[in-house]
Amino acid sequence: MIRSISVMPGFDLWPGLLDSEAQGDLARLALAAFAIAPPARYETAHGKAMSVAMSSFGPLGWTSDRAGYRYADRHPATGRPWPAMPQALLDLWTALGDPQTPPDSALINLYRGDARMGLHQDRDEADPRFPVLSISLGDTAVFRIGGTARRDPTRSLKLSSGDVCRLSGPSRLAFHGVDRILPGSSGLIPGGGRINITLRRAAGV
C-alpha cells in the first residue's frame, strides 16, 4: 500500500492510493447511485442553498434543511432506502478506518462548475472517535483545513483523483472545506467535475 503523509496530527493523506481502474469503478457506482437516489442541493439550517449536490450509499444518508442537519434511513424525496454500500468502500474502511466497526454512511458529493464547500466540522455523527475517510474522484480540489476552532489558522492543499485522506484523533473535528475545483484537471467524470465520497460511522456502536 502507498504510504500515508501526515499533513497535521490526525489528518493523513494517501496520494494516488486508488489506481485508474479503481477510480473508474467507484465513479460508475456513484453515478449509478444518483439514478436511484437523485443528488440534491440541500439547504443549510439557515436556509442557504448548498452549491454541492449530495446523495449517499449505505443504511444512513446525510440530509439537511431548515430543520437542521441529520442522518436519515430514506432518501428525502423518493422515500426509498439509500443504495447499498459498495464492497470496495467497505474494504477501504477496514484497511484505513476501523476494522472492527463497519461504516454505515457514505456521503457522495458532486462538485460541478463553481461549487464549493465552506469551512465546517463533521460533527453530526454519534461518536467522533470513529474517523472520517474521504475519497477524491475526478477534478482536483483545492482543500482547506484548520483547527478545531473556526478562527484557527488554515492551510490549503490539492486533492487529486485517487487520493484518500482521513480525519481522526486531534483532527477529527477540524474545520475543513473545498474552496474550488480545477475544471478540466481530470476526464474521469462524464461532463466534468469532482465526486467526493466520505465514509463515516454515523450511528455509533
Question: Residue 58: which CATH number?
Answer: 2.60.120.590
Length of the chain: 205
Find the domain containing 83 and state its range.
5-200
pLDDT of residue 26: 98
pLDDT of residue 2: 81
Residue 30 lies in a domain: yes
Plot region of 198 (φ>0 → left; ψ -120 to 50 → alpha; else → beta): beta
Residue 32 lies in a domain: yes
Residue 61 lies in a domain: yes
Residue 55 lies in a domain: yes
pLDDT of residue 133: 98
In angstroms, the Cα distances linking 41 to 61, 63, 117, 156, 172 are 14, 10, 12, 25, 25
In angstroms, the Cα distances linking 62 to 124, 156, 171 are 9, 26, 21
- Cα–Cα dist 130/204, whole Å: 8
- Cα–Cα dist 87/192, whole Å: 25
Is-contact 72 204, C-beta < 8 A? no
Full pLDDT tens readout for the chain, 205 residues: 788 999 999 999 999 999 999 999 999 999 999 999 998 878 776 777 889 999 999 999 999 887 788 999 999 999 999 999 999 999 999 999 999 999 999 999 999 999 999 999 999 999 999 999 999 999 999 999 999 999 999 999 999 999 999 999 999 999 999 999 999 999 999 999 999 999 999 997 7
Task: Decide: helix, strand or coil at residue 141.
Answer: strand
Residue 205 lies in a domain: no
- Cα–Cα dist 147/188, whole Å: 32
Residue 166's contacts (CB-CB under 8 Å, 6 or more residues apart) are 4, 11, 12, 96, 97, 131, 132, 133, 134
Helices (H), the chain: 20-36, 87-96
pLDDT of residue 40: 80
pLDDT of residue 123: 93
Residue 112 lies in a domain: yes
Residue 14 lies in a domain: yes
pTM of the model: 0.94
Count: domains in the chain:
1
pLDDT of residue 69: 86
